[in-house]
């Protein structure tokens, strides 16, 4: 539960001079760029020293840096940041660096619904949400002795898929598994991966309408994961595993992608159902979210994960994607967030998109 009283917090803000802030990592170049395009001042929270590489990207460089020794120190600086009229745009690294508990209680207006964190980080709750929305997820194998098909073993809270492994039999699983960390065993879905970048606005009714607000598809990507995505340059996975070389799933980058157009109706149906269910369960996933999917050879989607904020997979689209271009030229997810803030400011509805 967030203990932040957004109404009270915003009461002390100079709304004409809002400053968009985030941690200097992940999708910050895009977020600062998008905020600047919409006329906002920007502030980059960085550790230790000003990140020099921002000088190389003047249009993605924040107007001001706020230096902390440790990201957790942001908690102590909340008042100072309030005085600067800071609105936080959280991304995956921001939440991770601060820690989920700190994030939910951070006393700063934050874009999106912070309640979503508990529904996305708890694998069982995530299943209740997504399956409750009619989404097909990979089957879970509760007892490793029942492994009959390839599975992927995921350690809870693993960063960037670190430590995940594939097993095809119980014997293989037993050889690889580490019992010191909790894990989930999931059917390994065969197919092609698409990471779908949606934007849900509870306050704007243009475009693809939902019961409340509207939904956009801004872009999609495929993650580039080392070593699994290029391991075949050295030999087949089976061959390499015999030599004790196991593929890993560590994200190193993102590749732009488009999908065959006939699949788009399904993409919207899924996004719509996920938003409607979120409204019912916890007041809605507000702003950007991403469904991480595999499309099977029967052209069915299986969703193995949801990220309920801006994902780094939107970074290839600083100047728009083949989808956002059909909404408005030059529209990144970062810029879309800034536009939502502008719209809310104009219609006095900031409290509906900030928590």
Which of residues 132 and 160 has its CB atom nearest to ligand AMP in the complex?
160
Which of residues 172 and 305 has its CB atom nearest to ligand AMP in the complex?
305
Which of residues 40 and 97 has its CB atom nearest to ligand AMP in the complex?
97
Q: Which of 161, 202, 213, 271 binds ligand AMP (CB under 6 A)?
A: 161
Q: Which of 90, 92, 138, 313 binds ligand AMP (CB under 6 A)?
A: 138
Which of residues 61 and 223 has its CB atom nearest to ligand AMP in the complex?
223
Q: Are 69 and 48 in contact (CB under 8 A)?
A: yes
What's the closest the beta carbon of residue 189 comes to ligand AMP, in angstroms?
4
Picking from 154, 160, 159, 161, the residue whose alpha carbon sits closest to that of residue 181 is 154
Q: Which of 13, 54, 249, 323 binds ligand AMP (CB under 6 A)?
A: 249
Q: Which CA distances in Å does 344 have to 15, 87, 118, 303? A: 11, 13, 26, 31
C-alpha angle 242-246-252 in degrees, rounded to nearest 5: 155
Which of residues 84 and 154 has its CB atom nearest to ligand AMP in the complex?
154
Q: How many residues bind ligand AMP (CB under 6 A)?
A: 17
Q: Tell me how crowded residue 340 is: count the other CB atoms within 10 A of its CB.
A: 27
Q: Which CA distances in Å does 67 have to 44, 54, 235? A: 8, 14, 46
- Phi-psi category of residue 10: left, alpha or beta, with phi > 0 → left and psi -120 to 50 → alpha: alpha
**By CB under 6 A, is residue 155 in contact with ligand AMP?**
no
Positions 91 through 130 that interact with ligand AMP (CB under 6 A): none
For residue 35 the two structure tokens come to 């905020």
Which of residues 293 and 333 has its CB atom nearest to ligand AMP in the complex?
293
Q: Which of 81, 133, 141, 152 binds ligand AMP (CB under 6 A)?
A: 152
What's the closest the beta carbon of residue 187 comes to ligand AMP, in angstroms?
6
What's the closest the beta carbon of residue 60 comes to ligand AMP, in angstroms?
26
What's the closest the beta carbon of residue 355 comes to ligand AMP, in angstroms?
25
Q: Are 311 and 170 in contact (CB under 8 A)?
A: no
Cβ neighbours for 221, distance < 8 A, ≥ 6 positions apart: 195, 197, 254, 255, 256, 257, 313, 314, 316
Question: Per-residue contact track with ligand AMP, 302 to 321, x per CB under 6 A?
Answer: --xx----------------
Q: Which of 221, 225, 276, 340 binds ligand AMP (CB under 6 A)?
A: 225
What's the closest the beta carbon of residue 139 comes to ligand AMP, in angstroms?
9
**By CB under 6 A, is residue 223 in contact with ligand AMP?**
yes
**By CB under 6 A, is residue 147 in contact with ligand AMP?**
no
What's the closest the beta carbon of residue 228 comes to ligand AMP, in angstroms?
7
Q: Which of 63, 96, 224, 292 binds ligand AMP (CB under 6 A)?
A: 292
Q: State the DSSP string of 264-321.
A: HHHHHHHHHHHHHHHHHHHS---EEEEEEEEE-TTS-EEEEEEE-SB-GGGGGGTT--
Q: Are 278 and 129 in contact (CB under 8 A)?
A: yes
Which of residues 154 and 197 has its CB atom nearest to ligand AMP in the complex?
154
**Residue 245, SS3?**
coil
Picking from 1, 44, 2, the residue whose alpha carbon sits closest to that of residue 19 is 44
Question: Per-residue contact track with ligand AMP, 175 to 214, x per CB under 6 A?
Answer: -----------xxxx---x---------------------
Which of residues 198 and 304 has its CB atom nearest to ligand AMP in the complex?
304
**Residue 254, SS3?**
strand
Report helix angle 264-282 to 123-132, nearest 10: 120
The footprint of ligand AMP (CB under 6 A) covers 138, 152, 154, 161, 164, 186-189, 193, 223, 225, 249, 292, 294, 304-305
């Amino acid at each position: 539960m967030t203990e932040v009283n957004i109404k009270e917090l915003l009461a002390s803000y100079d709304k004409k001079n809002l400053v968009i802030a985030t941690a200097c990592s992940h999708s910050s170049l895009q977020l600062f760029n998008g905020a600047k395009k919409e006329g906002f001042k920007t502030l980059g929270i960085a550790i230790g020293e000003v990140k020099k590489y921002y000088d190389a990207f003047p249009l993605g460089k924040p107007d001001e840096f706020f230096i902390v020794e440790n990201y957790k120190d942001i908690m102590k600086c909340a008042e100072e940041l309030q005085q600067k009229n800071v609105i936080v745009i959280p991304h995956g690294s921001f939440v991770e660096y601060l820690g989920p508990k700190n994030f939910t209680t951070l006393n700063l207006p934050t874009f999106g619904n912070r309640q979503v964190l508990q529904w996305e980080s708890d694998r069982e709750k995530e299943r209740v949400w997504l399956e409750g929305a009619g989404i097909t997820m990979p089957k879970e194998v509760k007892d490793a002795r029942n492994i009959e098909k390839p599975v992927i073993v995921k350690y809870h809270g693993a960063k960037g898929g670190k430590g995940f492994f594939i097993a095809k039999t119980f014997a293989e699983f037993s050889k690889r598994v580490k019992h010191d960390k909790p894990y989930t065993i999931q059917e390994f879905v065969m197919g092609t991966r698409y990471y779908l970048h949606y934007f849900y606005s509870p306050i704007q009714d243009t475009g693809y309408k939902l019961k409340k607000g509207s939904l956009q598809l801004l872009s999609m990507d495929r993650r580039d994961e080392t070593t699994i995505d290029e391991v075949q340059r050295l030999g087949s996975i089976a061959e390499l595993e015999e030599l004790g070389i196991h593929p890993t799933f560590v994200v190193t980058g993102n590749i732009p992608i488009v999908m065959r157009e006939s699949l788009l109706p399904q993409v919207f149906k899924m996004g719509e159902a996920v938003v409607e269910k979120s409204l019912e369960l916890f007041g809605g996933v507000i702003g950007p979210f991403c469904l991480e999917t595999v499309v099977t050879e029967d052209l069915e989607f299986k969703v193995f994960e949801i990220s309920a904020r801006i994902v780094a997979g939107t970074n290839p689209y600083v100047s728009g994607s083949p989808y956002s271009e059909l909404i408005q030229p030059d529209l990144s997810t970062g810029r879309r967030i800034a536009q939502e803030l502008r719209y809310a400011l104009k219609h006095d509805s900031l409290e509906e998109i900030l928590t």
